[in-house]
Amino acid sequence: MSTAILPAPTAAAPAGVAQAGLDLGALFTQSEVPQFLAELERDLIGLEPVKRRIREIAAHLVVGRAREMVGLICGAPTLHMTFTGNPGTGKTTVALKMAGILHRLGYVRRGHLVSVTRDDLVGQYIGHTAPKTKDILKKAMGGVLFIDEAYYLYRPENERDYGQEAIEILLQVMENQRDDLVVILAGYQDRMDRFFESNPGFRSRIAHHIDFPDYADDELVRIAKAMAEGADYAFAPEAEAALADYVRRRRSQPNFANARSIRNAFDRMRLRQSLRLFETGGAVDRARLATIGAEDVRASRVFAGGIDAPAAPG
């Protein structure tokens, strides 16, 4: 009730607050931020640079509130981001989370994610692109627009490509309606670099360039365990050792895609486990149904000399 009759904080009004000083720590613990950072720490394995950047953004929010209280100017920061990194390093997963994060931190109003690629933005004939792009932008208002493999928007080899038109509309909205939506561009590092070289306007309008590092072996094992847990499976102790072995071997083989490779491997392990149980027959109990054994892991082609080698039986 008291807040309703208090005037909005202005330069003149909160002089008392300014003199008394603010307890940033208290402000921090009062907000949702700490519990939310703990959640993030729990849900995302590895990805230190990403977490650091999110902590920065969260801290900025708290400081921004404090600044507002003492009457300093507090403009919303530009939050457009690029996510670069190798396949399977969690760019899309983090983008999904980012929408929720920014919503809970109060930077976007709705917190939904609109995930698009070139096809959703660029039209097929003259005059088709602008309405299409604007349509998507309208849908993303109040949330996060995630453009996967953004470099496909720009096709230098075809000068009449409509991608340029989409880029111009995007840039305009990113500049003028910063309060209304956050744009995240994602893609592989080298191609994003080339994309930015040919579109300097993009680079300067994006404040946060976040690089997703490859996962370490132990992180991949933890990811596999988390996946298993999420699907109500568990690895037998010897299967865990096999899993570590698997990750180490898989990395050196072609088409390694970090967590995505692990997810695919896990799906195949489940299939093998099902077949093994089916062929053994007999009674099954809860523990047997939930356990992935070492033999399910070791049957992978990765152990038989790589994914190019002929498939192992079973």
Partner 1 sequence: MRITQGTFSFLPDLTKAQVAAQVQYCLDRGWAVSIEHTDDPHPRNTYWEMWGAPLFDLADAAGVMGEIEACKAAHPADYVRVNAFDSARGWETVRLSFIVQRPAEEKGFRLDRTEVEGRTQRYALRHRAGAL
Residues forming the site for partner 1 (CB under 8 A): 109-110, 112, 137-139, 141-143, 177, 180-181
| Comparison of 52 and 110: residue with beta carbon closer to partner 1 | 110
Instruction: Write out the two tokens for 201.
Output: 């306007």
**Element containing residue 82 per DSSP (H, E):** strand 81-85
Q: How far apart are alpha carbons 305 and 42 in whole angstroms?
A: 35
Min dist CB 138 to partner 1, Å, is 3
SS3 call for 183? strand
3-state SS, one letter per residue, for 184-244: EEEECHHHHHHHHHHCHHHHHHCCEEEEECCCCHHHHHHHHHHHHHHCCCEECHHHHHHHH
| Comparison of 75 and 254: residue with beta carbon closer to partner 1 | 75
Alpha carbon separation from 228 to 60, 132, 196, 262, 287 (Å, rounded):
36, 40, 39, 11, 14
Min dist CB 179 to partner 1, Å, is 8
Min dist CB 121 to partner 1, Å, is 15
Q: How far apart are alpha carbons 164 and 243 in whole angstroms?
A: 46
| Comparison of 139 and 270: residue with beta carbon closer to partner 1 | 139
Centre a 10 Å sphere on the Cβ of residue 165 and count the other Cβ atoms it contains.
20
| Comparison of 101 and 228: residue with beta carbon closer to partner 1 | 101
| Comparison of 180 and 245: residue with beta carbon closer to partner 1 | 180
Min dist CB 33 to partner 1, Å, is 23
Number of separate helices (H) and strands (E) present in the chain: 16, 7
Closest CA to 99 of 55, 143, 36: 143
| Comparison of 62 and 140: residue with beta carbon closer to partner 1 | 140
Min dist CB 125 to partner 1, Å, is 18
Min dist CB 177 to partner 1, Å, is 7
